Chain A
Amino acid sequence: MEAWRFFKKTVSMVFIGTKGYYLWCAFLLTVIGIAITFYIQQLDAGLIVTQMRDQVSWGLYIGNFTYLVGVAAAAVLLVIPAYIYHFDPIKEIVVLGELLAASAIIMALMFVLADLGRPDRFWHIIPFIGSLSFPNSLLAWDVIVLNGYLVLNTIVPIYILVKIYFGAEPSKKFVIPLVLLSIPWAVGIHTVTAFLYNGLAARPFWNASILAPRFLASAFCSGPAMAIIIFQILRKTAGMKIRNEALFKISELIAYSMFINLFLLGAELFKEYYTGTIHLAPMEYLYQGLHGHHSLVPWIWSALFMNVTAFVIFLIPKTRENLLTLNIGSFFIIVGVWIEKGLGLIVPGFIPDPLGEIYEYMPNINEIAISLGIWAFGLLIFTLFMRIAIPIQRGDFIHSRYAKPTARPQYERIEP
């Protein structure tokens, strides 16, 4: 009986909302629909419909994958300060952070799936059923840690939400160890993902020990920046209570991370340019252009400009504590890190290729449409997660035994 009620209420919450909510969901569904048509085409014709070729065999999909693993890692790391300072608001932040992480991981895994030539043979990678090459292949490691992370990041929020739904306090004994586990695990997923590229001697651009630290530093920028934006949206649309001070604190954290990120970038640039061996070539391609090929140059300089500007914005208290500049800075970081860790990381790894050939990769409409579709899918999942989680957390959506008879239909409360 209660399950049926839960289901009914969930459905009504998901399907009933404000005009803005409808528009948003319709928009996401449209993007997903378009992406599906492109994906069917890709399945049918093969990956030839992308711009990837033997010379540059990974592109936009794997770039997005890398970026989203970073977002997923950082979303959970947001829990750390909340945990250090006090436990009380941790429930809300844990649920939000972990559901954001789960959405990001789902997107990341979907990007791998989109990049996979033979999704029909996906079962080959499932441990015990297929023949997962653990521990030799870093991709096998990644499959394990990412799926484990996904499980971890769905168990905790579900547990908390169910407990609240039943009017009980989540047990700290259960939540805290899992939250504590998810923190090193978050570092782990991003480290493993960095090692995926790092371990390839054939690609000097990735074969630098600085890669994993840089991955973490930049993830600490993009994840929290995304959280700043999301918190504000939820504050406006779902009435979530988040004080400005929390946002300012996060932006301060971003400033430190961005400093480390830029410092590591500087260390990398110094080493490559001062020694000037043939391994400089990919870096040269990225920042200056190589033998007349420079399609990534404007991108990476824009990224650098955005990252530095955001760093300055977040460093100065006055601009950090102004919502307008704060949002500009956050936007700059989301885009800047996306360029740096997406195309700016994956593509130069392949240019020049091991025999010195240069093929200038730029994603085409197929890849862009499918990528946007995956992003839309992730955002839709996150939206629906929030649609259920927030009313539960606010006590509006609760077991019938505890529900106040006069409680207004919760969807009205969603309105700003």
Chain B
Amino acid sequence: MKRVLFFISVISIALWLPASAAQHDEYPVASPPFSEGIFPCSSCHAGLELNTKKRELKDEHTSIRLHHAEKERWCLDCHNGPDRDKLKLADGEIIDFTESYRLCGQCHGNIYRDWRAGIHGKRVGFFKGGKRTYFLCVNCHNPHDPKFKPLKPEPPPIRPERQYGK
């Protein structure tokens, strides 16, 4: 019996440790890429009544085209209804926009794991002896339409035949 208890406690600690580490790790993230003047959201939403009906927005936020599992979700699955300056995880936890990676990580577990290890996404600055900044998921992926958009490439190199003069 004692042994069983011991195992149970070891296993639960083992399970809890990484989970809690993930919960409480903080990353020196970049600031979220808000459209100009849009944050804090409460400056408009504070006076508005909460409407939880899934609908097409006709008056505000019309530039947002949700292209991110849009059949399964809409705004308030991620944005916290009562306090719009926050985001909301599936388990109901309320988080800041600077922690948005946790929200993304709920579905994209593998990528979240790579991101935490510095393998997915981008980090800039000092990896040692100075300030390092982690890019948030949303710094590169529009959360409403996350697929990376094609870019215009920089010009190709000058061909060796034309290196001189012309």
| A interface residues (Cβ-Cβ under 8 A, vs B) | 48-49, 53-56, 359
Contacts and interface: CB of A to CB of B under 8 A. Distances in A.
B130 interface: no
Contacts of B160: 53-56, 359
B164 A48 contact: yes
Nearest to B165: A48
B93 interface: no
B65 to A, nearest CB: 41
Given A48-B164, A53-B160, A359-B161, 8 more contacts: A48-B163, A49-B164, A53-B163, A54-B160, A55-B160, A56-B160, A359-B159, A359-B160
Contacts of B159: 359
B142 to A, nearest CB: 35
A359 B160 CA distance: 7
A55 B159 CA distance: 10
B22 to A, nearest CB: 42
8 contacts: A48-B163, A48-B164, A53-B160, A53-B163, A54-B160, A359-B159, A359-B160, A359-B161
Contacts of A55: 160
Interface string B146-166: 000000000000011101100
Interface residues of B, number: 5
Interface of B: 159-161, 163-164
A54 B157 CA distance: 12
Q: Which of A49, A56, A359 has the most CB of B within 10 A?
A: A359
Nearest to A52: B160
A135 to B, nearest CB: 34
List the 9 closest A-B pairs by CB distance, nearest first.
Answer: A53-B160, A359-B160, A48-B164, A55-B160, A53-B163, A54-B160, A48-B163, A359-B161, A56-B160
Nearest to A358: B160
Contacts of A54: 160
A56 B164 CA distance: 15
A50 to B, nearest CB: 10
Contacts of A53: 160, 163
Nearest to A361: B160
A48 B164 CA distance: 7
A48 B161 CA distance: 11
A340 to B, nearest CB: 25
A53 B159 CA distance: 10
A372 to B, nearest CB: 22
A55 B163 CA distance: 12
Contacts of A48: 163-164
A54 B161 CA distance: 11
Contacts of A49: 164
Nearest to A45: B164
A407 to B, nearest CB: 59
Q: Which of A49, A53, A56 has the most CB of B within 10 A?
A: A53
Contacts of A359: 159-161
A351 to B, nearest CB: 12
